[in-house]
């Protein structure tokens, strides 16, 4: 494009470019030797003419447009939105304050999930674990709360399977009540599910417009 601005070796002659202080690197952090910058008027289809700055480097390859220039020339269109969260979220209390309508209830499963037990495995009853006297009232209060919310159900009649109770103290000094169903887990008949491959799912994305990602 500018034959009078290069020497016999194809390198830019002194004074033909504007010096720059920017350091260019490749994806692997390899340094790219940059001679300087030059401005070239560019146009794409019906876009207006645009004075575009190019970095002249000592590597083979085609000329590359940056993202701001590609947007200005309407080579690409950015369809995105940026939302700014003015209030920082540093704790569960911050989440509850900002999204109070998401923490007001326990969501119920819409369908009943059934567990299949191998009848050849003998039933097992765990002995109750010893609990500190100081924790008994807190555990009882948490169990009553879970029962009122429908998370658990009181069983009065004898049962063949009993899992021991365990608990952990959370950061806010409340407790999380759990079961230790190791014996029951050994008797459960596992359902098998074959995870589909990307090739099996690609055709279902043909007309998809919105995607969500869940990190479980």
CB atoms < 10 A from the CB of 65, how many?
16
Q: Over the stretch 161-206, which tens digit does the pLDDT of each residue have?
A: 999 998 888 888 888 998 899 999 999 998 888 999 988 888 888 8
Q: State how far the Cα of 170 lies from the Cα of 167, in Å rounded to an integer.
A: 10
Say if residue 62's pLDDT is above 80. Answer: yes
Tell me the three state secondary structure of residue 37: strand
Contact 153, 147 (CB under 8 A): yes
Of residues 110 and 137, more confidently modeled: 137
Give mean pLDDT, residues 23-28: 87
Phi, psi of 213 (to 5 degrees): -125, 130
Per-residue model confidence (pLDDT) at position 84: 65
The DSSP secondary-structure symbol of 171 reads T
């Amino acid at each position: 494009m500018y034959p009078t601005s290069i020497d016999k070796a194809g390198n830019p002659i002194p004074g033909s470019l504007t010096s720059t202080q920017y350091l260019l690197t490749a994806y692997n952090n390899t340094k790219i030797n940059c001679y300087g910058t030059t401005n070239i008027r560019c146009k794409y289809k019906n876009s207006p003419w645009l004075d575009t700055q190019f970095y002249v480097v000592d590597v083979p390859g085609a000329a590359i447009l940056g993202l701001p220039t590609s947007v200005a020339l309407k080579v690409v269109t950015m369809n995105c939105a940026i939302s700014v969260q003015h209030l920082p979220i540093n704790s569960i209390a911050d989440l509850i304050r900002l999204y109070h309508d998401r923490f007001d209830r326990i969501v119920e499963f819409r369908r009943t999930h059934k567990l299949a037990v191998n009848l050849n495995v003998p039933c097992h009853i765990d002995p109750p674990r010893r609990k500190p006297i100081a924790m008994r009232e807190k555990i009882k209060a948490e169990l009553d709360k879970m029962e009122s919310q429908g998370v658990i159900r009181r069983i009065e009649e004898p049962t063949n399977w009993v899992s021991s109770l365990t608990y952990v103290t959370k950061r806010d000094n409340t407790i999380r009540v759990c079961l230790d169903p190791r014996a029951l887990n050994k008797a459960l008949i596992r359902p098998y599910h074959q995870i589909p491959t990307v090739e099996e799912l690609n055709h279902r994305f043909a007309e998809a417009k919105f995607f969500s990602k869940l990190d479980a």
